[in-house]
Amino acid sequence: MRRIPSVNGLLNHPEGKRMIEIYGRENFLKTAREVLEDLRKEILELPVPGMGEGDLVSENILKKIESHLVQKLAPSLRRAVNATGIVIHTGLGRAILAQGAREAIWNVTKGCCTLATDIETGLRGHRDIHINRLLCELTGAEAGILVNNNAAATVLILNTLAKGKEVILSRGQLVEIGGSFRLPEVMETSGSILREVGTTNRTHLKDYEAAINEKTGAIMRVHHSNYRIMGFAEEPEIEELVELAKKYNLPVIDDLGSGALVDLKEFGLETEPVVQRSINAGADVVCSSGDKLIGGPQSGVIVGKADIVNKIRNNPLMRAFRVGKLTIASMEATLKLFLNPEKLKKRHPTYKMFSLSLKELNKRAAKVANKLRKTVSERAQVWVEGGESQVGSGSAPEETIPTKILCLKAFNLGPENLAKKLRRNEPPIFSRVYRETVLLDFRTIQPDEDELVEEALLKILTE
């Protein structure tokens, strides 16, 4: 115990002084005390004296202190490599932002920005002006606003149009979204009253009409998103619901979930509901996520008829659900990519991943595999095989995309341990484990991350 250096001794040590300059005196003092206390506890817990001389040398203790400081001050939220094969991965931040969106965020953080001030008049304006025109042009709607996610959009719409009133919805559309948020609970929070019609697999137009009464506030359709009802199933099309609603002077709310702005058939995928169709069909208000198939930052998009969108904008809850300058800047840049759909495959990360050819994926995976074999052939079995990627985040749930996967079996390391070591890498690399094999899908690994993956595997497998 007496050989443990004092805090003052560590403070006055050249390495201690260097760390104080970098991390600050208070940070250093607090961490030094914690490290020394842990050391005392460790000594007391030893059954017999066995602490090595090196463990009590000031230089080695200072190294421990710096290690603790680095870990303490490192960002918890940081970049990661997605090798899971799930293109839009909710746990890994959903859509990867396009270069233009990242530049837009940087541009508005360098100083002040024109968030809510009119350049011409110098007077306070509305922040929706930055994306309203783009949303209208891309969807055909009369007006559009942005909120912090699609659940917020749903609550805001229902609270504005049907607070204290019944909202008619098919039983087959009572979805549960990520994080165990269920639509009936979301509707209850909004102040509206759920009126279920039909059955799980079949709901007819006559079921909606039979439910209409003096308490009805709106008719709602919700896209299934993360599941499909197959076989003996039927639901009215949005055009039919709009026609019925007109007859009774009721608004139609269409919650599309993923909110595609282009037909996924162009990318060889199952079709997801396109926002433009709902607007053209006459839906009064349509909402969707901004960070799924649109590929922007986390947000909820609301578009529709101008009078209804204005009512929603003026709802007091709008202030609680509105987005800030970083979301607006990145969403504006993302939406502009859809003005030139022919270039989506090159400029939009999500649609670029959808479009990667098997030949290109195989070339990249084989390059990494060949380099690994030259170094770790005695430590691991490495090969490339075909596999399937997924769209993710509830979009096209039954659809898979052919891909190429780097497969690894380490002889002295179990698959779960290898996957854990990859996650502990800097940056963390997230893979899949299947049948005692670690799988890394090159469709979701970005081309400039191939070298990072290779270096991490070499380091782990040669330790």
Centroid of chain to Cα 116: 27
User: What sign for the dihedral angle of Cα 261, 397, 400, 332?
Assistant: positive
What's the pLDDT tens digit per position in 361-418? Answer: 999 999 999 999 999 989 999 999 999 999 987 666 667 899 999 999 999 899 999 9
Full set of structural domains in the chain with CATH: 7-73 (no CATH), 81-89+353-461 (3.90.1150.180), 99-347 (3.40.640.10)
Q: How confident is the model at residue 55, as a pLDDT?
A: 65
Identify the burial level of 389 via C-beta atoms within 10 angstroms of its C-beta, where 0-12 means exposed, 13-18 middle and 19 or more buried. Answer: buried
Q: Confidence band (pLDDT; 50, 70, 90) for 56?
A: confident
Using alpha carbons only, how large is the chain's radius of gyration in Å? 28
Q: How confident is the model at residue 457, as a pLDDT?
A: 96
Contact 168, 218 (CB under 8 A): yes
Helix (H, G, I), strand (E, B) or coil at 133: helix
CA 100 – CA 105 distance, rounded (Å): 9
Of 78, 109, 80, residue with least CA distance to 327: 109
Of 100, 123, 24, residue with least CA distance to 65: 24
197 phi and psi, to 5 degrees?
-135, 160
435 phi and psi, to 5 degrees?
50, 55
In sequence order, which residues have a C-beta less than 8 Å from that of residue 290 and are 6 or more positions away?
Answer: 146, 150, 259, 296, 297, 298, 299, 300, 301, 331, 334
What's the pLDDT tens digit per position in 110-159? Answer: 999 999 988 888 888 888 899 999 999 999 999 999 999 999 999 999 99
CA 282 – CA 361 distance, rounded (Å): 42
Position 357 pLDDT exceeds 60: yes
What's the pLDDT tens digit per position in 292-307? Answer: 999 999 999 999 999 9
Position 75 pLDDT exceeds 70: yes
Q: How confident is the model at residue 377, as a pLDDT?
A: 87
Q: How confident is the model at residue 180, as a pLDDT?
A: 64
Contact 82, 392 (CB under 8 A): no
Q: How confident is the model at residue 82, as a pLDDT?
A: 97
Q: Confidence band (pLDDT; 50, 70, 90) for 452?
A: very high
Crossing angle between the packed helical segments 450-461 and 415-423, to the nearest 10 degrees: 130
Q: How confident is the model at residue 76, as a pLDDT?
A: 86
Position 54 pLDDT exceeds 70: no
Q: Confidence band (pLDDT; 50, 70, 90) for 51?
A: low
Length of the chain: 463
Contact 453, 428 (CB under 8 A): no
Of 14, 4, 8, residue with least CA distance to 38: 4
Identify the burial level of 165 via C-beta atoms within 10 angstroms of its C-beta, where 0-12 means exposed, 13-18 middle and 19 or more buried. Answer: middle
CA 204 – CA 196 distance, rounded (Å): 12
Q: How confident is the model at residue 52, as a pLDDT?
A: 57
What's the pLDDT tens digit per position in 341-356? Answer: 889 999 999 999 999 9
CA 203 – CA 334 distance, rounded (Å): 37
What's the pLDDT tens digit per position in 308-333? Answer: 999 999 999 999 999 999 999 999 99
- Find the mean pLDDT for residues 173-195: 84
Q: What is the mean pLDDT of the chain?
A: 91
In sequence order, which residues have a C-beta less than 8 Å from that of residue 389 and are 6 or more positions away?
Answer: 85, 86, 87, 353, 400, 401, 402, 403, 441, 443, 444
CA angle, corner 114, sides to 111 and 120, nearest 5? 135
Of 448, 372, 357, 376, residue with least CA distance to 406: 372
CA 236 – CA 231 distance, rounded (Å): 16
Crossing angle between the packed helical segments 129-139 and 325-337, to the nearest 10 degrees: 30
What's the pLDDT tens digit per position in 244-263? Answer: 999 999 999 999 988 899 99
- Find the mean pLDDT for residues 29-47: 87
What's the pLDDT tens digit per position in 154-168? Answer: 999 999 999 999 999
